[in-house]
Amino acid sequence: IKKEWESSSRENMSDVRELIPDFFYLPDFLLNHNRLEFGSMQDGSTLGDVILPPWAKGDAHEFIRLHRMALESDYVSAHLHHWIDLIFGYKQQGSAAVEAVNVFHPYFYEDQVDLNTIKDPLRKHTILGFVSNFGQIPKQLFNKAHPARIVQGKHSLAKELAASSPAVLPFFYHLQNLKPSSVPVRELLKRAVGHIVNTEKGVLAVEKNKLLVPPEWNKVFSWGYDDFSCSLGNHGTEKVLTVFECLADWGQCLCAACPTPTTVITGGTSSVICVWEITASKERAKSMMLREVLHGHTEAVTCLVVSSSYNVIVSGSCDRTCIIWDFNTLTYVSQLQGHKATVSAVSVNDVTGDIASCAGTYLHLWTINGRPITSINTSSEVTEEILCCCFTEMHEWDSRNVVVTGCANGVVRLWRTEYSRLQDIKSDGGPATDKNGCRWERHLVLCRELSRNSTLPGKQRKRMPA
């Protein structure tokens, strides 16, 4: 990165390369995960992962996050029209380009060279080499100055970065303890809470083994009956509208997800994931047809979640693994291994694609491609097994996002990721190593613990035992 930046910014005036979109959303393109052989440099160093600047802490995700944060800042928005003028606008050619010092070699302009008229093979080869290595200036789209974008807020990168810094904390960092609402969300007398949905009109909740159906949230999909059947009912009246007995062929249902009004995904004791299609008339659901059976787990499926943003299904099992499935093709993608107990909860961040999986008291974080980010043992007490988890979904570049876990003893914990520099450890040059050879580690930090009687103030936050 350093050499390319120095080349394009000051050392090589013929270097007109710009950042491709991947620099703002795709950290994987900077990493040679498959250990492909790219050869070596003249000094003998082997080419592999891209060498990142020190401020990226050796982590491609941090590099991309900060790039995106700068791109989305008010400062960039306020000056974006100047860049458009240079690349696509009136400052691309003519006297305005000369004034803006935006003039390049004629070979870079597509209307300046006609390869069909060039007879000299050496000259043609030279021009093609220019185009292959540095590209061409795009077509001129605008002949007058592009209007400035209307920006909400301060036109200052420093203030933008400060607003997203840990010093300015969202509301959930200031919570002191768990306080019951003055008005009950709903009286749940039969079983524990199983599904909570936050809507514009308020918070909806249903018991365990029940699922609210989007997008209206006025229907409830239920399972867990003695005959292994399932049903679709009305949320307000609790009236059962339709009973489906087709699930009985696949053992006891232990978990379900409902990404659309007509799609239900179930998992249970049979170790398979079943994808069902509900056919319905105007009045009521007619039938529940099996669309696909997904094989991968070797023991009962205990939890699953669907991300419509990333089109993936993530399932957890008693076999101590999670599996990522492609929701479009309904095929296996990858397996998340390393859990020390039955996977009890999974969640997908619909903004970043990060995956959280919980097994016993352990919390694991993964990328959308199934690569481990970090993990932590949240408690030394077996009674504090994690039962559920979720993400806050602010901007993907916002470092204040947290993972929320709910434990069997009623405690809710908020976790955030931080970087620490490892001391006196000889680096192996891995992906979490910066250009100075310093090794960095990304880990989970407890920033808030909520219960009925206790609180962990932000100033006392600490890293839990690994």
Segment 279-313, tens digit of pLDDT? 876 666 678 899 999 999 999 999 999 999 999 99
- Among 57-66, 145-154, 291-300, the least confident range: 145-154
Instruction: Say what the pLDDT of residue 435 is.
Output: 54
Instruction: Say what the pLDDT of residue 242 is.
Output: 87
Residue 404 has pLDDT above 60, yes or no: yes
Segment 368-381, tens digit of pLDDT? 999 999 999 999 88
Segment 250-267, tens digit of pLDDT? 999 999 999 999 999 999
Instruction: Say what the pLDDT of residue 453 is.
Output: 67
Q: Residue 154: which pLDDT band, with cuts at 50, 70 and 90? A: very low
Instruction: Say what the pLDDT of residue 118 is.
Output: 86
Q: Residue 456: which pLDDT band, with cuts at 50, 70 and 90? A: very low
Segment 232-254, tens digit of pLDDT? 988 888 888 889 888 888 999 99
Residue 182 has pLDDT above 70, yes or no: no
Q: Residue 160: which pLDDT band, with cuts at 50, 70 and 90? A: very low
- Among 57-71, 127-141, 152-166, 353-367, the least confident range: 152-166
Instruction: Say what the pLDDT of residue 463 is.
Output: 46
Instruction: Say what the pLDDT of residue 430 is.
Output: 52
In the numeric block, which tokens belong to residue 222? 């239920």
CA count, 13 A, side-chain hemisphere, 260: 12
Query: What average pLDDT score do residues 71-86 get?
Result: 91
Residue 169 has pLDDT above 90, yes or no: no
Residue 426 has pLDDT above 80, yes or no: no
Instruction: Say what the pLDDT of residue 371 is.
Output: 93
Residue 127 has pLDDT above 90, yes or no: no
- CATH code reported for the domain at 171-208+296-460: 2.40.128.630
Residue 131 has φ and ψ, to the nearest 5°, of -65, -40
Boundaries of every domain in the chain = 2-163, 171-208+296-460
Instruction: Say what the pLDDT of residue 41 is.
Output: 85
411 vs 236 pLDDT, higher one = 411
Segment 327-343, tens digit of pLDDT? 999 999 999 999 999 99
Nearest one of 134, 145, 140, 163 to 14, comparing CA atoms: 134
Instruction: Say what the pLDDT of residue 181 is.
Output: 67
Residue 158 has pLDDT above 80, yes or no: no
When the candidates are 1.10.760.10, 3.40.50.300, 3.30.70.20, 1.10.1540.10, the CATH number that belongs to 2-163 is 1.10.1540.10
Q: Residue 212: which pLDDT band, with cuts at 50, 70 and 90? A: very high
Instruction: Say what the pLDDT of residue 11 is.
Output: 85
Q: Residue 184: which pLDDT band, with cuts at 50, 70 and 90? A: low
277-294 core/surface letters (b: 16 or more CB in 10 A; e: else): ebeeeeeebeebeeeeeb
